[in-house]
């Protein structure tokens, strides 16, 4: 390990590894510091990802793909369900323990160094600029200087706050999630199922995602406001009892998902945030792997350009480029989320009923949201505003 690097990345999740890879590929010297002993573990994720979102960054590999997704299923509060055939593989179920590890290896192959069990506990600030990190490694306090710190430290990120960025999130926008991986579960191996309704997951959804024959990730997210009154775990236990009474629980996880648009300011002098740390999660689905990697690819590229040109001014373009690539879409999805998650059970039942009336060929995900909009015309005004920005 050197005493100084161009870039230090805090966190070796998908966003950290991609930021590091993109920067190292462009000639920057990069060090990733990861607090856990193993990259990729513990896993706090439903592990679903879109084909497009994955393949933009890594070639799918059977070693870390549990299932190929060709269908979406939506289940109404009254139990009626509609299955939408996507026609081809449009998504994957990952084995994140291996996936995160392999992604970190691609950063290493590009020239980045990685140090695990390295817990970053503060930033070095000089004349209003971030110029390095302090971290604990094997019981010793250490220091590394750098020109840019990339905070990829996940949903509970502190790097941004330490740098003085506004990272506060209203508790109502933090989806409270609980998930089990269970065996002895009957579930279609090519379908992601989403259940809606006040009983199953108010202001959120309940998911059943396949993880290989007889196993599934079964979980839910409810808004922070709901979670304060009744825990996500209590809703999940109820759903398991009603829908999967014979399931054997293999693992359990709890975690928050920021279901809100990305931070307004994701970078400042010597600092950039990526992934969950920058709230780059899809606000409607709660999926943050692919959008985090997208944000990280922009950050890694701009950070390397700043280093190469010896001018940190390039990191100022980060927000603009994020907005162009993904941000506008996220604003739109955030509006849909606000409408959809406030649907009454009757509106959800009507939505599924309308889909079932359509011939199978016309049942698309796009049409699902179009019908949702028709059920809630007030949403159209908000969405029009997003397009006009």
Ligand X SMILES: Cc1cc2nc3c(=O)[nH]c(=O)nc-3n(C[C@H](O)[C@H](O)[C@H](O)COP(=O)(O)OP(=O)(O)OC[C@H]3O[C@@H](n4cnc5c(N)ncnc54)[C@H](O)[C@@H]3O)c2cc1C
Contacts with ligand X by CB under 6 A lie at 10-16, 33-36, 44-49, 119-120, 152-154, 177, 179, 219, 253, 255, 257, 275-277, 281, 286-289, 292
Minimal distance, residue 346 CB to ligand X, in Å = 28
Minimal distance, residue 362 CB to ligand X, in Å = 27
Output 77 or 288, the one with its CB closest to ligand X: 288
CA gap 275, 280 in Å, rounded? 5
Quote the distance between the C-alpha of residue 73 and its chain's center.
Answer: 21
Cα angle, residue 183 at apex, residues 256 and 38 outer, rounded to 5°? 50
Instruction: Return the closest-CA partner of residue 132 out of 260, 319, 4, 289.
Output: 4
Output 54 or 379, the one with its CB closest to ligand X: 54
Using CA atoms of 193, 334, 239, 194 in order, give the dihedral in degrees to the nearest 10.
Answer: -10
Minimal distance, residue 347 CB to ligand X, in Å = 25
Minimal distance, residue 31 CB to ligand X, in Å = 11
Output 19 or 304, the one with its CB closest to ligand X: 19
Minimal distance, residue 375 CB to ligand X, in Å = 26
Please compute Rg for the chain using Cα positions. 21
Output 36 or 321, the one with its CB closest to ligand X: 36
CA gap 323, 34 in Å, rounded? 28
Minimal distance, residue 85 CB to ligand X, in Å = 21
Output 33 or 182, the one with its CB closest to ligand X: 33
- Classify residue 173 by its DSSP letter: G
- Classify residue 230 by its DSSP letter: S
Distant-in-sequence, close-in-space partners of 216: CB < 8 Å, separation ≥ 6:
181, 182, 185, 187, 208, 209, 210
Output 208 or 315, the one with its CB closest to ligand X: 208
Minimal distance, residue 135 CB to ligand X, in Å = 7
Output 160 or 286, the one with its CB closest to ligand X: 286
Determine the length of the chain: 389
Cβ atoms of 144 and 122 closer than 8 Å: no
């Amino acid at each position: 390990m050197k005493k100084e690097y161009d870039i230090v990345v805090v966190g070796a999740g998908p966003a950290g590894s991609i930021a590091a890879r993109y920067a190292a590929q462009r000639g920057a010297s990069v060090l990733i510091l990861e607090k856990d002993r193993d990259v990729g573990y513990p896993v706090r994720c439903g592990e679903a990802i879109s084909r497009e979102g994955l393949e933009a960054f890594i070639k799918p590999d059977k070693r870390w793909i549990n299932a190929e997704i060709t269908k979406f299923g939506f289940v109404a509060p009254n139990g009626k369900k509609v299955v939408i055939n996507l026609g081809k593989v449009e998504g994957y179920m990952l084995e994140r323990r291996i996936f995160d590890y392999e992604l970190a290896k691609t950063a290493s192959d590009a020239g980045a160094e990685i140090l695990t069990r390295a817990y970053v506990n503060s930033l070095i600030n000089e004349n209003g600029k971030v110029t390095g990190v302090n971290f604990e490694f094997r019981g010793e306090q250490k220091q590394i200087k750098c020109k840019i710190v990339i905070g990829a430290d996940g949903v509970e990120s502190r790097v941004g706050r330490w740098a003085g960025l506004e990272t506060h999130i209203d508790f109502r926008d933090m989806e409270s999630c609980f998930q089990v991986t269970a065996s002895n579960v009957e579930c279609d191996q090519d379908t992601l199922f989403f259940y809606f309704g006040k009983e199953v997951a108010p202001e959120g959804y309940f998911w059943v995602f396949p993880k290989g024959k007889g196993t599934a990730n079964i979980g839910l997210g409810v808004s922070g406001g709901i979670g304060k009154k009744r825990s996500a775990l209590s809703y999940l236990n109820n759903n398991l009892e009603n829908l999967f009474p014979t399931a054997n629980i293999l693992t359990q996880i709890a975690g928050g998902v920021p279901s809100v648009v990305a931070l307004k300011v994701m970078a400042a002098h010597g600092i950039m945030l990526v992934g969950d740390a920058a709230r780059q999660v899809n606000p409607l689905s709660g999926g943050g792997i692919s959008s985090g990697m997208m944000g990280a690819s922009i950050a890694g590229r701009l950070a390397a350009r700043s280093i190469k040109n010896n001018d940190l001014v390039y990191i100022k373009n980060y927000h603009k480029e994020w907005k162009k690539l993904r941000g506008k879409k996220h604003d739109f999805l955030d509006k849909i989320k606000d409408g959809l998650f406030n649907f009454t059970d009757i509106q959800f039942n009507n939505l599924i009923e309308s889909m079932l009336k359509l011939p199978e060929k016309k049942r698309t995900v796009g049409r699902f949201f179009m019908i949702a909009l028709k059920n809630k015309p007030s949403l159209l005004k908000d969405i029009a505003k997003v397009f006009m920005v």
